Amino acid sequence: MIVAMQEAASEEQINAVMEIMEEAGVNVHRTTGATQTILAGVGPTASLDLSKFEVLPGVLRVHRISVPYKLTGRAFRPEGTVVEFPNGVKVGGAQVAVMAGPCSIENREQIFTTAARVKAAGASFLRGGAFKPRSSPYAFQGMGIPGLQLMHEAARENGLLTVSEVMEISQIESMLPYIDLFQVGARNMQNFNLLRELGQARKPVLLKRGIAATIEELLLSSEYIMAGGNYDVILCERGIRTYETATRNTMDLSAIPVVHKLSHLPIVADPSHGTGRRDMVTPMAKAAVAAGADAILVEVHPNADKAASDAAQTLYLEQFEDLMGQLRVIAAAVGRTL
Amino acid sequence: MIVAMQEAASEEQINAVMEIMEEAGVNVHRTTGATQTILAGVGPTASLDLSKFEVLPGVLRVHRISVPYKLTGRAFRPEGTVVEFPNGVKVGGAQVAVMAGPCSIENREQIFTTAARVKAAGASFLRGGAFKPRSSPYAFQGMGIPGLQLMHEAARENGLLTVSEVMEISQIESMLPYIDLFQVGARNMQNFNLLRELGQARKPVLLKRGIAATIEELLLSSEYIMAGGNYDVILCERGIRTYETATRNTMDLSAIPVVHKLSHLPIVADPSHGTGRRDMVTPMAKAAVAAGADAILVEVHPNADKAASDAAQTLYLEQFEDLMGQLRVIAAAVGRTL
Amino acid sequence: MIVAMQEAASEEQINAVMEIMEEAGVNVHRTTGATQTILAGVGPTASLDLSKFEVLPGVLRVHRISVPYKLTGRAFRPEGTVVEFPNGVKVGGAQVAVMAGPCSIENREQIFTTAARVKAAGASFLRGGAFKPRSSPYAFQGMGIPGLQLMHEAARENGLLTVSEVMEISQIESMLPYIDLFQVGARNMQNFNLLRELGQARKPVLLKRGIAATIEELLLSSEYIMAGGNYDVILCERGIRTYETATRNTMDLSAIPVVHKLSHLPIVADPSHGTGRRDMVTPMAKAAVAAGADAILVEVHPNADKAASDAAQTLYLEQFEDLMGQLRVIAAAVGRTL
Amino acid sequence: MIVAMQEAASEEQINAVMEIMEEAGVNVHRTTGATQTILAGVGPTASLDLSKFEVLPGVLRVHRISVPYKLTGRAFRPEGTVVEFPNGVKVGGAQVAVMAGPCSIENREQIFTTAARVKAAGASFLRGGAFKPRSSPYAFQGMGIPGLQLMHEAARENGLLTVSEVMEISQIESMLPYIDLFQVGARNMQNFNLLRELGQARKPVLLKRGIAATIEELLLSSEYIMAGGNYDVILCERGIRTYETATRNTMDLSAIPVVHKLSHLPIVADPSHGTGRRDMVTPMAKAAVAAGADAILVEVHPNADKAASDAAQTLYLEQFEDLMGQLRVIAAAVGRTL
C-alpha cells in the first residue's frame, strides 16, 4: 500500500499514520520528497481496509498496489481454467459452449420441447429457473424442485447438462441430484454465506456479475467460492445498470477481455439479461463471441410471447436456431468451434 | 397499461397485440388516431411483466399507468406510519430518532463504552453488526450471536433498543431474543426469500436501499415484507453507486422527500455508508434531517481508527456528541425534536 | 401524450390538467376508468416539455407516446443512409470503413508515417486531432490549422480521406479545406449552436455520443444537424461513463443494434475511447463489427508509448495491421467486407 | 506518481518503464520488495497522462499522488474565497446568497414581476436565460440580448444583481453590459475554449458541474478560468445523471463538503435542476443549506405551470416566498444568515 501525505502534513501527522500502519502489521518505508512525503507499506495488506487511512489527518490519498484476490488471479493458473463436466463438455476451451432454455420451467411439454430443439441446434446445457427472484411479490415465483426434476429428465433424455439458479443455502442439497452447474444470480453475487457454502459443493458454479458490481468485486466473490476448495467457477457478464433506458441493462462486453487478463477463469455472456430485448440478443451474442466469450447463455421458449417471466428477452425457437448458425461462423472467425 | 403502436403498425399487428393483452386478462380500449393507434389496458396489470409487449411487432412503447405496489403506497395509509417500539420510542413521528454504534461488535468493553456514551448523547438505538458481509473472504466476518448477546446487555443496561443486520433466514430465530429491529442490508434488499420470512417476524424491519436500486424497487421490496403481515417497515437511504469516487457512495437525499410522497413508511438516513468518510458524516446528517429524515443511523466507535471494519466512516465518540448538538438545532429548525 | 391521473384525483384536478393540455394546442381524449382517469393528448407534443404535467396536482405519471425526433428516425428513410464521399468511399454500405490515426497530429514525420501504414493496411480515413479538449489546462492543446494542413497532405498523398474534431463554430470555415468529415466530440454532443452551424456545412459530420448521453439524446442532437439540411450524419459509440473503473469508459455496444433499429443513420464504433486501453481495443473492435458497426475509428501512432495524448489507448502500427487482418475475417462472418 | 509493477514483471520490463518515466522528466525512486517492485516518480507529473504507463508490459497499477489542479486547490487560499460584487453582495461569506428567477426570460411583465417579488423575499440575484440549450431543435430557444436588457433593467430597478448563461465565446462581449455573473451551464463545463475566454473576462463566473462530471473534473475546469487570471469563480452542484428516474437528476449534496475540503471556492446548490420537480425543491434547498452551501439558485416564475421551459421544476412565487422563510431558519441553525 502507498500513503501519499498532503504537502502541508506535519511530522506529527506522518508519525501517527506510520504508527497505525505498523500496528496493522505493515512494514513502512518512508520517502521524504521536496514537497510531499510518501509512505510505502509492505505486508498483509490484502485483508486491510485501506480507506481508514484516507481519513487520517494529513493524508492525501491511499492506494492499494497489489490485487486483493489470490486464487482467482491470472497468476494462480497462467494457462487458464477449463471446467470439465462428467459427459466431457468443457467450458473455457476451444469450443464455445451454449446454454439455452426458458427463464422459468413451467411444465413438462415446455421443457421437453425446448430441450429437444436446443440440443438439435447445438447447445450443450439446458437452463431453466425453478426458484425465481421477482421484484414484485405478486409475480410468478417458480415451480421449485418438481420443476428441476422435469428439467433434469428432459436434459438427460437429450444428452444435455443442466444449469439452474440457487438462491438459498437450504436449496443446495435438494438441487444437487438435478443440476450439473449451480447458477448464482446477479442479486446474490455478494451473498457471501451462499458463496461459502458453494465453495464446499461438489458441482461447478456459474457466478453472475451483480447489476452494480465492478469486475474486481466479481473476482472477489469468486474468491469466496475458490477459498472453500471449489475451483470450478465460471464467471458471467449479464449487463450492468446505467442511466441508459433503451436496453434493460448495459452489457459490458469489455468485461470479457478484462476478466481474461486479470483471471484464469472462463467467462460466459448472457445477452438475454444483458439487453432485455429479444431483437438485441442476436447481435450481442455475436459480439460476445467475437470478444472472446467462452460460452453464451440465452433464454429460449417454445411460446416466447407467453413465457411466465422474462418474455421480452426470450428468443423463439426458430430465432435460436438461426442464432446458432450465425454464432458458428463468428466462432470460426475467432479460431474456435461451437 | 398503455401500448403506443408505431405509426407504420399494420392492422394485423394491432390485433395481435390486443389478443395477447386480452389473454392476460386485460380489458383493452383502442384509440385510432390520425397517425398512431393507442391501446389502453385496464385490469390485473400490477403483476404483468409489461416489457414483453415492447418487443411485439409494431409496438413503439409500453407504459405502466398504475403503481406496482399496494401496501407500501401512500394511499394505503395517507396519514403515514409511525413504528412504535415496546419502550415507547417511535420512528416516523415528530421526534427524529438516532441509531448509533460500531460497524461490528468487537468485544465487551467496546460495546458497553459505546452504549453508555451514545445514550448519554441522546441516541435511542444501539447498532452493531454480528454477521458481516465483507467483499473479501480474508476480512473479519463478525462475532455472531455472542456479539448480539453483548450488545443486547449493553443496550438494556442503558435503556437503548438494538438494531443489527440479518443476512440469512436461518439467523432470524436466533437473533430474535437480542434485537428490537432487524436490519436488511443493501446487498439483501432483493433477497426475496429473506424478506418473505421477515414478513412473518414479530419485530420491525429496517430495509436498506440496494446500491443500485431505484426507489420504486425499494418500495417493491418493502411490499414483500408487508405482504406477509409485518407492517412495521422502516426504509433507509444509504447511498447509491455512481461514477463519482470522491465519496464511497453518492447519498441520494432526494430519496427522502420522494419516499414521503410515494409511501407512508418512515425513512432513515445513513450518512456513514452514504459518504464512507468520517469528515462528511456531520454535514450530510444535518442535510438529511433538513430534508425530512425520520431517523439517522451512524457508525461510532470508541477507537474509530482501529475499528475492525468501516473505520474510515466511523465517528469518534466526541464527534458523535458534537453531531448530536448540531442535529438538535437542525431538527428544531424543521419543527421536530431529537 | 398520456396523462395517468392518481386514483384519488378530484374532478377539479382532472379539469385543470385538461385545460393546460388544451392551451398547449393538444386535443384531449378522456377515459374514466373504475379506479383511474386517463387523458390521451394528440397534437404538437414533440415540442412540448411533458415533465411540467407530472407535477400538476392529481397527476400520477405522464408518458410520451411518439418519438421526439423526425428526420433522424428510421421511418424517414427506411432503407438506411449511406454517406458517400467524393472519392467513392461509403459509410453505411456493405463495406465496413476504417478510420485510423493518432489522437493528436504532432509533426510531419508522425502523420506521414501513419498515413502510409494505415492506408497499406486497408484504412480509408486518416484521423488526427488539431484542437485538443484536455481536462487539464496544463496539457498539450494541439497544433491547430498547421496540423490539419500536414494531415491533409499526408492523406491525399496516400489516397485517404481526413476526419478531425471541430470544437468551435469559428473553426469550421478554416477547417473546411483540409477535412472530409467533421468530428463532433463527446463533450460537444449537446453544443447546439455548433450542431446548428454544422447543419449548414457542406461536409459530412461524425457525431460522437456524449459520455452521459442516452441514445435518444444522441438522435436528438443529430436532428439539430439534419434540421439545417445536412443529412450526411454518421453517429459514433465511444463509451459511456459508469461506476466501472477497469476500463476508461464502458463501451455500450448494444447502441449499435439500437441505433440501427431507431434510425437510418450509420454508426461507427470507437474502441480506443470506448476502453481507454490498448490491450482491449482489438477484442472490442471485433465485437463491434460482429454487432453490426458500419465503421471502426481507432487511434494508431508510430511511437504509441510516447504519444502526446491518449497514449494508453493508442495502438502500435503493428498492432493495427494485425487488427485489420482479424477484422477482415469478422466482417466476412457477418456478410460484409472491410 | 507511483507505478506498482506486477509480481511477475521482468527486470527488462522494469527498466523500460523507468526509462519512459525519465524521458518524461520524472525522477524515479525504485523500491524492490520481496514480491513486487514499486517505482515512485517525482517531478512534473501534474501535466502527465498517467494512464499510458498502465498499459506498459509488466505494470499492475499506476497512481497519481498529487492533485492535478493548483489554483483551485484549498492550499492556494486556505482561508477560502469570498466573491464580492460591486453592490457589496458577497458569495462565500457568512450570508447564504439566493439567486432566483425564471428559466427563460419571456417578456417584460414576467421578468419585472419576478424581480420585485424575489427581491422582496430576500434574493440578491435575478437569474434568467436568454440563450437556451434545448435538447430538441423544435423547442423554444430564448430571447437573446433583448431578453438580457429586460432582465438587467428589472434587476437594477429592484437592487438585484444578474446571472445568465453564456453558451458561446461570441456572446461574452455582448452580454457584459447586462450581467454581473456569467453562468457556464453543465453542458459547457468542459468547453475549454469558452472557459479560457472567461478567464480573461472582468466578471465573476458561476461554473456548473457537468451531468457526468466528477468533482475533480469540476475543479480542473475551474482551473482553466483561474489560469487566465479570473479568480472569481463560484462552483455549482446541480445534480448528476444516475440510473434513478424518480428525479430528473440525482443531487449530490456531498459535493458541498467535498468541495469545501478540496478547494477554497464557494459552492452554490441548484435544487431546481438537481431534482427537476417543484415538490422536491424546498426539502433539497433546506438540505443544501444545512450541508453548507454558500448560495441557492432556484427557478421561480409568476405563472410556473406555463413557463416556456423547465416548468416542472419552477416554483410559484408563493412557494418561493415560503421557501425563503424556511431557509432563514435553517441558515440560522448552521450559524449563517440569509
Is residue C41 a contact partner of residue C27, using CB atoms and an 8 Å limit? yes
pLDDT in tens, A10-20: 999 999 999 99
| Residue A213 to residue A299: CA distance in whole angstroms | 23
Mean pLDDT over residues A307-336, rounded? 93
Which helix H or strand E contains B221, and what residues bound it? Answer: helix B215-227
Name which residue leads in pLDDT, A63 or B292.
Answer: B292
pLDDT in tens, B100-133: 999 999 999 999 999 999 999 999 999 999 987 7
Tell whether the model's pLDDT for residue B140 goes beyond 80.
Answer: no
Q: Write out chain C residues lying below 8 Å of B61, CB-based.
A: 63-65
DSSP-derived letter for residue B160 is -
Smallest Cα distance from D126 to chain C, Å: 22
Q: Average the pLDDT over each of A46-50, A265-269, B263-267, D296-300 and give the range with the smallest value.
A: A46-50
Radius of gyration from C-alpha coordinates of chain D: 23
Tell whether the model's pLDDT for residue B238 goes beyond 70.
Answer: yes
Q: Does the predicted model carry a pTM greater than 0.90?
A: yes
Tell whether the model's pLDDT for residue B281 goes beyond 80.
Answer: yes
Q: What is the pLDDT of residue B135?
A: 66
- Residue B238 corresponds to which cell in the numbers above? 444509504
Q: What is the pLDDT of residue D61?
A: 86
| pLDDT interval class at A96 (50, 70, 90) | very high
Tell whether the model's pLDDT for residue D257 goes beyond 90.
Answer: yes
Q: What is the pLDDT of residue D7?
A: 83
| Residue D114 to residue D127: CA distance in whole angstroms | 10
| pLDDT interval class at B33 (50, 70, 90) | confident
Distance of CA C151 to the CA centre of its chain: 23
Percentage above 90 pLDDT, chain B: 73
Mean pLDDT over residues B235-244, rounded? 97
Tell whether the model's pLDDT for residue D49 goes beyond 90.
Answer: no
Across chain A, mean pLDDT equals 93
Q: If you count residue pairs, one on A and one on C, with CB atoms under 8 Å apart, how many are there?
A: 123
| Residue C146 to residue D216: CA distance in whole angstroms | 33
Q: Average the pLDDT over each of A258-272, B62-76, C190-204 and give the range with the smallest value.
A: B62-76
Q: What is the pLDDT of residue D6?
A: 87
Tell whether the model's pLDDT for residue B136 goes beyond 90.
Answer: no
ipTM: 0.92
pLDDT in tens, C161-220: 999 999 989 899 999 999 999 999 999 999 998 999 999 998 999 999 999 999 999 999
Q: What is the pLDDT of residue B179?
A: 97
| C167 contact D CB<8A | yes
| pLDDT interval class at D40 (50, 70, 90) | confident
Q: What is the pLDDT of residue A184?
A: 97
Mean pLDDT over residues B69-93, rounded? 94
Mean pLDDT over residues D83-106, rounded? 97
| Residue C241 to residue D204: CA distance in whole angstroms | 30
Tell whether the model's pLDDT for residue A44 goes beyond 80.
Answer: no
Name which residue leads in pLDDT, A299 or A312.
Answer: A299
- Cell 439524446 locates to C217
Q: Write out chain A residues lying below 8 Å of D63, CB-based.
A: 2, 4, 61, 63, 65
pLDDT in tens, D102-131: 999 999 999 999 999 999 999 999 999 999
Tell whether the model's pLDDT for residue C285 goes beyond 70.
Answer: yes
| C243 contact B CB<8A | yes
The total of other beta-carbon atoms located within 10 Å of residue A276's CB is 22
Tell whether the model's pLDDT for residue A183 goes beyond 90.
Answer: yes
Across chain D, mean pLDDT equals 92
Which range, C133-137, D24-28, D247-251, has the best average confidence (pLDDT)? D247-251
Q: Do C284 and A258 touch (CB under 8 A)?
A: no
| C274 contact A CB<8A | yes
Mean pLDDT over residues D283-312, rounded? 92
Mean pLDDT over residues D13-31, rounded? 89
Smallest Cα distance from C241 to chain A, Å: 8
Percentage above 70 pLDDT, chain A: 99
Tell whether the model's pLDDT for residue B80 goes beyond 90.
Answer: yes
| pLDDT interval class at D135 (50, 70, 90) | low
- Cell 412504535 locates to B84
| Residue C232 to residue C182: CA distance in whole angstroms | 11
| A211 contact C CB<8A | no
pLDDT in tens, A109-168: 999 999 999 999 999 999 999 987 766 677 777 899 999 999 999 999 999 999 999 998
Tell whether the model's pLDDT for residue A31 goes beyond 90.
Answer: no
Mean pLDDT over residues D19-38, rounded? 85
Q: What is the pLDDT of residue B61?
A: 86
| A254 contact C CB<8A | yes
CA D224 to each of CA C19, D71, D72: distance values in angstroms, whole numbers, following the listed order: 49, 9, 10
Using DSSP's 3-state secondary structure scheme, residue B41 falls into strand
Across chain C, mean pLDDT equals 93
| Residue A184 to residue D138: CA distance in whole angstroms | 48
Across chain B, mean pLDDT equals 92
| pLDDT interval class at C221 (50, 70, 90) | very high
- Mutation site for D-interface testing, chosen from B209, B244, B247 by largest number of D Cβ within 10 Å: B244
User: C touches which chains (3+ CB pairs under 8 A)?
Assistant: A, B, D
D34 class by beta-carbon count within 10 Å (0-12 exposed, 13-18 middle, 19+ buried): exposed
Helix B317-333 to helix B108-121 angle (10° resolution) is 30
Tell whether the model's pLDDT for residue C246 goes beyond 70.
Answer: yes
Tell whether the model's pLDDT for residue A188 goes beyond 80.
Answer: yes
| pLDDT interval class at A315 (50, 70, 90) | very high
| Residue C214 to residue C144: CA distance in whole angstroms | 31
| C70 contact B CB<8A | no
Tell whether the model's pLDDT for residue C135 goes beyond 70.
Answer: no
Name which residue leads in pLDDT, B307 or D235.
Answer: D235
